[in-house]
Amino acid sequence: MEFCYIMENKDIELSEKEFSMVKERIFEVAGISLSDAKRTLVISRLSKVIKKLSLNSFLDYLDFLKGSKASKKDAQDFVNALTTNLTRFYREDHHFDHLENYIKQIIATKPRTSNNGKPRLRIWSAGCSSGQEPYTIAMCLYNKFPELKRWDFKILASDIDTEVLKKAAGGIYPETELAGLSANRAKMFERPGNGTIVIPKYIRETVIFKPLNLFHKWPIKGPFDAIFCRNVAIYFDKPIQNQLFSQLSEVLAPDAFMYIGHSENVGRNNPQFSLSGKTLYQYHAPQNSRAVA
């Protein structure tokens, strides 16, 4: 009986040809460049999907995805399995210190208003994973500037992984997520006493979660006053990284800021951005350009 259990849970073997085919497919559908170092990850994560479909090999699975029997969910499950979601509340602390100072300037000038006459603030968390980043943005700003409750303030939170978005939208996390947070930051969470923490309703209503493949055309106009796109570009090759940053500039408001990951760099191919601090860039719009309201 023990022998059978081991066999049932053994990972499926992956040939070099099959690995190349997996890498080609994830690049085609999501622009993600998998290195050879990700081979073990591919075996571990996709083996579970293949077994669930009662298939016998990676080749069978790849043929299945190309066939008419594969649903949109099957195609999405492939992407979900190969995306990595590592995040926490108040990750890259210096970004939120900068954000507070930047939004303080916006509040002082109130540069734009919405159709309802309220001051307008828009922030995008691109690659939001399980939601800690956009919720941190909201909690950070509401804690510092309570008057934002009277603004037209929204945060778009997008990710290619539909499973983590479902978790994010619920706004419920284990209480261990509070580890390392100051008392001032921890007080923003609701604690029902069952080992979880809950994002308050008014904060959940500020954040709009949407599935989005950054490799495809975006149904987004902007302009955004800030964009967080952290630890996303690292999964793309250099040409796609340059394309991504260029597209992000098109939906940023003039002089707005973009926050990226500690191992990422906008590079010389995107001169519209200037480095303003550790992993944060300011966008300088051409004089004849106008962001869409």
Catalytic residues: 45, 159
Q: Containing H/E element for 260?
A: strand 252-260
Closest by Cα among 169, 21, 5, 13 to 82: 21
Instruction: Among 35, 56, 82, give the residue marking a domain's end.
Output: 82
Listed residue (258, 252, 261, 272) closest to 233, CA to CA: 261
Distance CA 35, CA 219 (A): 30
pLDDT attached to residue 293: 37
Is 259 in the same domain as 126?
yes
In a domain, 36, yes or no: yes
16 and 124 together in one domain? no
- Residue 282: beta bridge partners? 257, 274
Q: Give the helix ranges, DSSP H, for 31-161.
A: 39-52, 58-66, 72-82, 93-109, 132-144
Domain limit, last residue, from 47, 82, 117: 82
Q: Are residues 211 and 145 in the same domain?
A: yes
Q: Note whether residue 242 is domain-resident.
A: yes
Torsion sign (Cα): 179, 181, 183, 185: negative
CA gap 69, 169 in Å, rounded: 30
- Do residues 103 and 212 both lie within one domain? yes
CATH at 31:
1.10.155.10
Q: Give the number of other Cβ atoms within 10 Å of residue 221's Cβ.
A: 11
Q: Which of 27, 53, 82 is the last residue of a domain?
A: 82
Q: Is 39 inside a domain boundary?
A: yes
Domain-embedded: residue 187:
yes
The pLDDT tens digits along the chain (293 residues) read 333 333 356 789 999 999 999 999 999 998 899 889 899 999 999 999 999 999 999 999 999 999 989 999 999 999 989 987 778 999 999 999 999 999 999 999 877 888 888 999 999 999 999 999 999 999 999 999 999 999 999 999 999 999 999 999 999 999 999 999 999 999 999 999 999 999 999 999 999 999 999 998 899 888 999 999 999 999 999 999 999 999 999 999 999 999 999 889 897 888 899 999 889 999 998 765 444 43
Tell me the residue range of the domain where 210 lies.
93-283
Q: How many domains does the structure of the chain reveal? A: 2
Q: Are 157 and 73 within one domain?
A: no
* Residue of 82, 81, 100, 80 whose CA lies nearest to 90: 100
29 lies in the same domain as 113: no
Quick one: tokens of 217? 């055309």
